[in-house]
Amino acid sequence: MKQLFEIYGWPLTTFFSACVALWLTILIVTPQFFMIELSLRFEDRGDRLTKIVNDLDVLYRDKGTKEYDLVNGPACNTTGMVNPMMTGDSSCAQFGEEDKLRLEQQVRELEDRIQSLLVEEQNLKEIKAQQFPYSVRNYTAMTGLHAWTLTKTVAFALIVTLIALAACYPVAYAVALRSGPVKTVILFTALFVPYAVNELMRIYAWLTVFDLHGLLNTLLVIAGFASFASDEVIIWYRFPGTVLVVLVYTYILFMVFPIYNTMATLDPNQVEAARDLGAKTWRIHWRVIIPHTKPGIAVGCIMTFMLAAGSFSVPYIITRGLQPKWFTQLIYDKFYESSNWNLGSAYSFTLLLICILFIFGVMAIFGVKLRQLAR
């Protein structure tokens, strides 16, 4: 810190320190704290209190309707539906004194029930306020179906990671160690240019391949294995493989570059020395190149896994509702469909926990230390 002050002077250093502090508080610490707090509060959607709140809603609505009818007379139409727009309809039956008394009686009954429920709600709230508010029930409450979805999502992310690794290692090797400077530039550009395109565009592009009238089916039709006329085409979106393919394609760059970067720092003499000592190609890879490239492979695997496991857009766009949801989609639903942020937070933290475990697992497998990853 003192060094920073000496290099940049106090105004600049203070400014940037303040910016960093602001960023940390507003965008990292506070939201995370908020979410953790939420995830530890269990909202029981089936308990008495929730029921009372729901019942009160209904009762207030009923009471409002009856009071409206008392003032304006009951609405009526041929179908018997209550419609405030048609209250002035001349075809309606007369609203007699008897009816009015009956309505007033009903309103009073409703008010009584509301009163008793309000008392009960008050009591229940007081009891709840005295209880300890936090529990891990949100984390343990996951249903079997959701747990299965989570398992499948993690398994898919693992498969994506393995496919990406298998595809990227040879590419990185070719670019880093096997080609001259000109070739390297060409290969590098070829790798890089597709990734200048927006991620969503790249995903949507795959629809032209998988669509009912897309490239794959067209090829099948041309080959005579399918027919557009009789709708004998394959609905590719139904196959989980489509998500795999697109995930690999979308996140492969995050595997290529770390591997390429570490591999490029390998002294070519090491490879020549190994060859000179009689080693065959696979042994050179196993004993010389891979040990050197380990940190890159670890970083690539971690990034690809986390992006794949946390991917929302790819399963959302590609499956089009024809496949079971991914865990990320479940989280989205919890937040925005069932408005249960507590459970949504718990779900996302569960996924985060699995990703962190994966990081430590990868580091253990590759024998890589955190310091090496940071490079």
Among 113, 285, 292, 320, binds another protein (CB under 8 A): 292
Distance from C-alpha of 178 to C-alpha of 169, rounded to nearest angstrom: 13
> What is the token pair recorded at 277?
């000592």
Q: Is 287 in the site for another protein (CB under 8 A)?
A: yes
Q: Minimum distance between the CB of residue 269 and another protein, rounded to whole angstroms?
A: 4
By the rule CB under 8 A, 113 interacts with another protein: no
Binding status of residue 263 toward another protein by CB under 8 A: no
Q: How far is the C-alpha of 356 from the C-alpha of 69, rounded, in Å?
A: 61
Identify which of residues 113 and 292 has a Cβ nearer to another protein in the complex.
Answer: 292
Shortest distance, position 25 Cβ to another protein, whole Å:
42
Nearer to another protein, 97 or 276 (CB): 276
Q: Which of residues 45, 102, 213, 283 is near another protein by CB under 8 A? A: 283
Identity of the residue, 247 or 274, whose beta carbon is nearer to another protein in the bound complex = 274
CA atoms within 13 A on the CB side of 250: 30
Sole binder of another protein in the list 71, 85, 277, 374 (CB under 8 A):
277
Binding mask 196-235 for another protein (x = CB under 8 A): ----------------------------------------
User: What CA–CA distance (Å, rounded) separates 254 from 164?
Assistant: 9
Nearer to another protein by C-beta: 153 or 293?
Answer: 293
Residue 64 makes contact with another protein by CB under 8 A: no
Helix (H, G, I), strand (E, B) or coil at 227: strand
C-alpha–C-alpha distance, residues 368 and 242, integer Å = 33
Q: How far apart are CA 194 and CA 26, in angstroms?
A: 34
What are the residues binding another protein (CB under 8 A)?
267, 269-270, 272-280, 283, 287-288, 291-292
